[in-house]
């Protein structure tokens, strides 16, 4: 079965910690594509630092020449908060014959069972968890048995069904976060080598670095 990767995030801004794991997961799981979905109004956190047009434009710049990487603006075009369960239901209609693989870092996985209708999410897609430096495998307390039951033994398990499996995928560990990039920009320090060059140029210009 064909698989499509979905990488949601605030991308405030996009950086190599998003891009390199996404590429490695695309290659390891032989995904048809990875769709980058910038959030509109993230339900779980404070308003983003960069406006949505800029976040979106920087993702576009970052993935411009990468075959298989696509920008998906559906959450930005929808009014109100973006719940992943609604987004996935829409994507399922667009790609009815494919298995959707929702990609997230280990930190985001830690909060997964607090997401709106998380069990319905597992009925719509697989989860692919990218290991992240310093972030241990979370403890899901009362939800642990459900999470354990969904754990996939290997990548091949994801091609055998359209949804419901959770795969922990080790990727090159890059200790880069958008938080750190924002701190650099605000303190006048270069963000070179943390983000693709076109992203760096635009942001350093804007912050007169
Ligand atoms: P912030 O520092 O603002 O919290 P972030 O760098 O974590 O942002 P997001 O846009 O919130 O970036 O992340 C989108 C997705 O990418 C999340 O699933 C997150 O776990 C994952 N991710 C972000 N940075 C990394 C990294 N360095 N390695 C692996 N996954 C990452």
What domains are there in the chain, each with its CATH number? 3-174 (3.40.50.620)
Per-residue pLDDT averaged across 92-117, rounded? Answer: 95
| Nearest protein CA to atom 7 of ligand 1, as residue | 177
| Nearest protein CA to atom 21 of ligand 1, as residue | 105
The per-residue pLDDT for 41 is 64
107 lines ligand 1 (CB under 6 A): yes
The per-residue pLDDT for 80 is 76
Q: Beta strands of the chain (E only): which ranges?
A: 3-9, 33-38, 69-71, 99-105, 126-130, 166-169
Per-residue pLDDT averaged across 80-94, rounded? Answer: 91
- Band (132; pLDDT cuts 50, 70, 90): confident
pTM of the model: 0.95
Residue 119 Cα to ligand 1 midpoint, Å, equals: 22
Main-chain dihedrals φ then ψ at residue 6, nearest 5 degrees: -125, 120
Average per-residue pLDDT for the chain: 94
- Cα dihedral 79, 65, 17, 38 in deg (nearest 10): 0
73 lines ligand 1 (CB under 6 A): no
């Amino acid at each position: 079965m064909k698989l499509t990767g979905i990488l949601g995030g605030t991308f405030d801004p996009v950086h190599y910690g998003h891009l390199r794991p996404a590429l490695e997961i695309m290659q390891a799981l032989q995904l048809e594509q990875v769709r980058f979905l910038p959030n509109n109004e993230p339900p779980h956190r404070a308003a983003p630092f960069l406006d949505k047009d800029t976040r979106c434009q920087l993702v576009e710049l970052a993935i411009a020449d990468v075959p298989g990487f696509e920008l998906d603006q559906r959450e930005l075009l929808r009014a109100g908060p973006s719940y992943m369960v609604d987004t996935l239901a829409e994507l399922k209609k667009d790609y009815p014959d494919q298995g959707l693989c929702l990609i997230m870092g280990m930190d985001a996985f830690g909060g997964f069972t607090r997401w709106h209708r998380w069990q319905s999410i597992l009925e719509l897609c697989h989860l692919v968890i990218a290991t992240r430096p310093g972030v241990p495998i979370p403890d899901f307390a009362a939800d642990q048995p459900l999470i354990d039951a969904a754990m996939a033994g290997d990548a091949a398990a994801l091609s055998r069904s359209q949804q419901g499996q959770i795969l922990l995928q080790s990727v090159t560990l890059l200790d880069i976060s958008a938080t750190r990039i924002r701190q650099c920009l605000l303190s006048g320090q270069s963000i070179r080598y943390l983000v693709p060059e076109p992203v760096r140029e635009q942001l350093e210009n804007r912050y007169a670095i």
